[in-house]
Each structure stands twice: as structure tokens, then as C-alpha cells.
Amino acid sequence: MKDFLLNKKWVGFFALLIYALIVAVFVSKSSKEAVLRYGPTVAAEIEYFLPITVENGEIVEPQDTIISKTYGEGWQSANVVLNTRVDELEPSSLQGQGIYLSRKYMYTVSGSKIEIHSLKDLPNATFDKEGLDSALDYVEKNVGRYIFPFMFFSVLIGGMLGALLYTVVMHWLMAIVFKVGFAHTLRINTLSYVGISLIILFTSINLGILLTLLIMLGINFAVNFALKANA
């Protein structure tokens, strides 16, 4: 088994492949559960501002209306404001982060950054409860389908790059004591990376880059000392 793990080509890649599959299943399942749990609450909050009718880049319904809600507390709070009494808002008058809608513009505020978006980019449509319920139903049914491939390829590519970068550093450090091939170190690091990542995934313990590097370095020295002793 030891000889297989340390000498078999592509064993590290297949370990990463299985890890990416586990993460993709885990995250897509968790995402669907989160949508099912919190989706109705979010939809109820959005419904508070509906219906909204946009025609020719302008909100025509509701007219002459101000609706405002604040979510969260302190520095984490965010405002959502609909003000159809004016065509545009004065950016300097926007208080706090969040989303602000006038008849013709949408303003997003994050910290000191303000972005302004014209509603001309929106199609003529009425956003109402029926459309919201349809959108929520679509998200509930398809969120896993979209998240799964994204997470799978992200984790696989990220894991390959991560293991390679750790190996570049590790191989340079290992050369002080051991004269081993780069592929040997890469194989040990990839398997170690997968093992550590699985622990992080299921325990939510954040080891950080430096601690992970030290653990992998310790694994490399332990494995190579054991091989040398048995040689």
C-alpha cells in the first residue's frame, strides 16, 4: 500500500479528483438546504417592495412612493430603499451601505464606494409576487445543478495549483536533508493536501497557509525518514 501511494503515477491526481467530488456534493447539498430554509424568508422581504413595473428604463409603478427597510445591526446593517418620488438621488445623501432605487437609477453603496446603474438596461416588465415565487421555485430545483460543476472544477484546479505551490517551497526545504525527486515530493504533498483539506471541510478548523505548510513539511520529513530507515 505504501509503495503504491508513493510510486504509482497519477495517484495524487485521483485523490484530488475524489476530494473535488466530495466537496462539490457537500456544497451543492448544503446550498440547496440553505435555499429551502432561508429562501421563503428572503422572498417575503423582497415581496415587501413588490410589485414594481419598469417601462422604458423607468419605474412607473409604484408612483410617488418611498419604501425603506434596514437589515442587520451596526456596521453589518444594510438599507434597501425604493424612492419613486424623484428621477435620481444625490449620492452624497445616501446614508449607509445598501441598495437605493429612484425612478431611473439604482445605487449600490458599499463602504465609501458608490456605484450607479441606469434602469435602461432592464427590459420592460412587472416584477411581482408570482414572478418571485417562480424564480424561487427555479432556484430551489436547480441550485445544486449549477453549483456542483462550478465547485468541482474550482476545487480540482485550485487543489492542483495549491499542491504544486506547496511542493515548490517544500522541495527546496527538503533538499537540505533529503535528495528526493520532485515527483516524489509532489505525490506526498498532494495526498497530504487532500487529507488536511478533508479535515478542514468536516471540522471547519481554519489551519491557515503557514500551519498547513508546517504540517505538510512534517509529513514529508516523517515519510522520508521512515523510507530511509527501512532502506
Q: Are 167 and 184 in contact (CB under 8 A)?
A: no
Rounded Cα gap, residues 158 and 151, in angstroms = 10
- Confidence bin at 2 (pLDDT 50/70/90): very low
The residue ranking higher by pLDDT, 104 or 44, is 104
- Segment 148-156 shows an average pLDDT of 92
* pLDDT for position 187: 80
Average pLDDT for the chain: 83
| Closest of 170, 181, 179, 175 to residue 220, by C-alpha | 170
For 169-190, how does the pLDDT look when each residue is reduced to its tens digit (9 = 90+)?
777 776 666 677 777 778 888 8
Q: What is the pLDDT of residues 100-134, one digit of tens each?
A: 999 999 999 988 888 999 998 888 888 888 888 88
